[in-house]
Amino acid sequence: MHSPCSLNIGVEWQTLKNTLQQAANEALGKRKKRRQKKCLILWNEDIKNLIENNKKAYLRYLTTRSETDN
């Protein structure tokens, strides 16, 4: 003999799942995922030149720092 619960296991599972999700949402709340932007919207030549100049200056700093440390 089967119990009434075992006859409809799919419905029982959905009911349990929905109840647990609802309880978790009430207790913890929901949080939306935010998509991070991959690039700046206002990218132009000035920003590109600034970045290149900063990289060159940093490389000069690294070379002079290592020479003075020795």
pLDDT in tens, 11-70: 899 999 999 999 988 888 877 777 776 665 677 888 889 999 999 999 999 888 766 665
How many domains does the chain contain in total?
1
pLDDT over 50 at 9, yes or no: yes
pLDDT at residue number 1: 45
Domain membership of residue 55 (yes or no) is yes
pTM of the shown model: 0.36
Whether 50 is covered by a domain: the verdict is yes
Cα separation, 10 vs 50, whole angstroms: 61
Residue 59 inside a domain? The answer is: yes
Helical H runs in 1-44?
4-7, 9-28
- Residue 54's pLDDT is 95
For 56, the domain range is 42-70
Find where tokens 């995922």 sit: 33
User: Is residue 54 situated within a structural domain?
Assistant: yes
